[in-house]
Structure formats: C-alpha cells, structure tokens
Amino acid sequence: MKDNGATKGGSLKREYHESYARYFVKYIQAMKAEGIIIDALTIQNEPLHPGNNPSLLMLADQQRDFIKDALGPAFKAAGIKTKIVLYDHNLDRPDYPVSILNDPEAKKYIDGSAFHLYAGNVSAMSQVYNAHPDKNLYFTEQWTGSTGNFNGDLKWHIKNVVIGTMKNWSRVALEWNLASDPAYQPHTPGGCTQCKGALTINGNQVNRNVGYYIIAHASKFVPDGSRRILSTELDGLSNVAFITPQERKCCWYLTSRIRKRRFLSVLMANRRPVL
C-alpha cells in the first residue's frame, strides 16, 4: 500500500486509503472478539520520521485526508467507538495537529493529539490546547537508554514528562518501553538497540530500571481519575498539583537547588499544593 513497496519509509498511496481504514476496523473487531477493547489509537507512530522500521511518512495534509475521507467514515459505518488520536510525534511541530484540527470535516472524527519530546518544548502542548481546547492531549512516548544516568534521567523525566506534560494539559504521561532483556531485545531489524525497558527480564530475574521509578514516583500519589489544578511556577521549583478522586489535594515537586530544600520540606509537611 506504500509508494516505495518497503516496510521502511515511503508514503501511503491514496488509492489504498479505504483499505488501510478497513485494516484498522478489522484489527479493533478482532481484538474485541478476544475480550480486548481498544480505547484509542494513533494512525502512525512518528509520521515525520521515515527512518524507523517499520515506518510511514505521512504529512499533515495526508493524515488529514485519510481521517476525513476514509478512517472516520469507516469507524462510523462499523459502529467503532475507538478514539482517533492524530500526530504522535515531536513537540517541535505543533502546527501539524493544529492544521488538521482546523479542518472541520476531519476534526469531527478526532479525539485529540499525541506527542513525544525528542525535539521541541513541552510548552507546545499548550499551543495546541489554546488553538483547540475542546480536544484532548496525550503524551505517548519518551525513552531512557542504556547509556543514560539514573539520577539525570529521573530528574529530567519527572520535570518534563510528568510535571511538564501535566502542566500543559496532557491527560497521560507514558514512558517507553515496558520491558526488554539484557541485550535490549526484542526489536525489529534496524530498531532501537539501546532502549532500556522499565524492567529488564533475564530468565526468572526482574530488575527495575529508571523508567519504572519515573512512573512509580508519580503514580503512587496521583491515582487514576485525579484532576490537575492550578499551581504557580516558582524559580527552581517545578511543580504540578492535583485533586484526587477522594477530593484530597496532592502536589508533585522537583527542586534542583539545595537552597530550596527547606522550602520544599515545609510545603510537604503542610501537604498543600502551591496555588
């Protein structure tokens, strides 16, 4: 269905839009038959990066037309309730999702937009929100690698992936990937050879890595169903505040300066968010 006839690179031929849409419908129906409900999907991982294997170069106008002419109508005809989430790539191109959402025929089928942070700034999520506040935002991927430093990775990911995305309207914060063996397998030919799983599985031995603790630190205090509330950004003290389903206030802080430690300990002792 691609113009280069290969798994890597190339673009979807227009005459195969309906076929690709039917593929998604059949996939969702087959999973449902096995008792697995697909809540949401993105059309293509990193559509502006044709160097992955597999990959598909899908420019904004191509994704827009595929959604409004093929995928959206196919889902509607089949009664599919799975959410359509567009983009799923870096935050240096907020114009990509905005341009698609600016098309009313495409927008009516779209739940929201998904992002990675290998390029750009996390504040770009707010640009997309401000342009289309009726659509959801999701942060769907950030990796930790074999050459990374535990302390540095933990700090950067908490500040950007957890605190940063939540302060910029994201509904989720996801780390990639879930698990690998000590050789960072399995992966496709040409795939990532250094991507560290949250868990390393070696036979019956399981080791927890930095990705595990990035998510564990936040999820321990911010359960499913929590709502973000306003918090004031302070110099050297990144933070995000939530109300949990039990209507309890909780706050997540990250400080990089020793002089802030006393202030941080006072805030945590009072158990109050910075509002």
**Active site amino acids:** 46, 141
In angstroms, how far is CA 143 from the centroid of its own chain? 11
C-alpha span between 99 and 131 (Å, rounded): 10
φ, ψ (nearest 5 deg) of residue 13: -70, 140
For the record, the structure tokens of 101 come out as: 């959402």
C-alpha span between 155 and 158 (Å, rounded): 5
C-alpha span between 189 and 58 (Å, rounded): 21
Residue 103 forms beta bridges with which residues?
none
Report the candidate in 187, 177, 65, 86 with the shortest Cα–Cα distance to residue 135. Answer: 86
3-state secondary structure of 243: strand
Q: Are 38 and 28 in contact (CB under 8 A)?
A: yes
Stretch (H or E) spanning 254: strand 249-255
Residue 201 forms beta bridges with which residues?
206
C-alpha span between 180 and 187 (Å, rounded): 9
Report the candidate in 130, 134, 93 with the shortest Cα–Cα distance to residue 114. Answer: 93
